[in-house]
């Protein structure tokens, strides 16, 4: 019976791990969507070809915010300045980089009411995609439970308990998604 309990606990642990990865992905996507104030993490995922290796900009330069709408990228090696400008231009950030020979500046435009509404729609779409993915993980876990039940012949009470635990874990993560969505929506709509 301990072997069976280990299998069921592993199933729940695996589900929670997968849901956590999906929630982390959601948080990273939310970071990349600018609210009222720019965040340097918006450009951290942008990578450039540095001597044949794709390297994140954060590993090649000092990135800072000078005000609420401006990010300054100060490379440690000026030979990569043009590569940084190209990568930031191709990253579709909503602004074009300006190279002054020493640093790259990204000046983001002020958000209009229409832009804010579009960003809220985008955030809702990302959150809904995350919820759907989480529900798919629940379905996969329940399918695994059925397979284990077919092989091991688990009691009905144990099956119901595991199904309840799976649903409880999913509900907790969906609540976290809803909380993160509400916070991001508040950030975007705050002027």
Which helix (H) or strand (E) is 73 found in, with range? strand 70-75
Q: Which helix (H) or strand (E) holds 71?
A: strand 70-75
Q: How many domains would you assign to the chain?
A: 2
Co-location of 130 and 163 in the same domain: yes
28 and 116 in a single domain? The answer is yes
Helices (H), the chain: 2-31, 81-90, 113-152, 156-189
Smallest CA-to-CA distance from 148 within 163, 130, 167 is with 163
- pLDDT tens digits, one per residue of 79-133: 888 888 888 888 877 788 888 888 899 888 887 888 889 889 999 999 999 999 9
3-state SS assignment for residue 180: helix
Q: Which of 107, 140, 164 is the last residue of a domain?
A: 107
Domain at 67, CATH number = 3.30.1360.40
- Do 142 and 81 share a structural domain? no
Q: Provide the residue range defining the domain that includes 164.
A: 2-32+112-189
Domain final residue pick, 107, 135, 152: 107
Q: For 145-178, what is each residue's pLDDT tens digit?
A: 888 888 877 788 888 888 999 999 999 999 999 9
12 shares its domain with 100: no
Dihedral of CA 63/64/66/71: which sign? positive
116 lies in the same domain as 177: yes
């Amino acid at each position: 019976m301990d072997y069976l309990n280990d299998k069921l606990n592993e199933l729940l642990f695996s589900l929670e791990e997968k849901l956590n990865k999906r929630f982390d992905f959601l948080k990273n996507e939310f970071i990349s969507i600018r609210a009222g104030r720019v965040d340097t993490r918006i450009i951290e995922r942008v990578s450039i070809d540095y001597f044949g290796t794709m390297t994140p900009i954060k590993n090649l330069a000092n990135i800072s915010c000078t005000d609420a709408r401006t990010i300054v990228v100060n490379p440690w090696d000026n030979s990569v300045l043009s590569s940084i400008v190209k990568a930031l231009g191709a990253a579709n950030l909503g602004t074009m980089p300006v190279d002054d020979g020493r640093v790259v500046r990204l000046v983001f435009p002020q958000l209009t009411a229409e832009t804010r509404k579009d960003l809220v729609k985008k955030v809702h779409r990302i959150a809904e995609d995350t919820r759907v993915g989480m529900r798919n993980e629940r379905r996969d876990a329940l399918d695994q439970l059925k397979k284990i039940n077919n092989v091991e012949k688990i009691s009905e009470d144990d099956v119901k308990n595991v199904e309840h635990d799976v649903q409880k874990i999913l509900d907790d993560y969906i609540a976290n998604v809803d909380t993160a969505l509400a916070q991001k929506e508040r950030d975007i709509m705050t002027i």
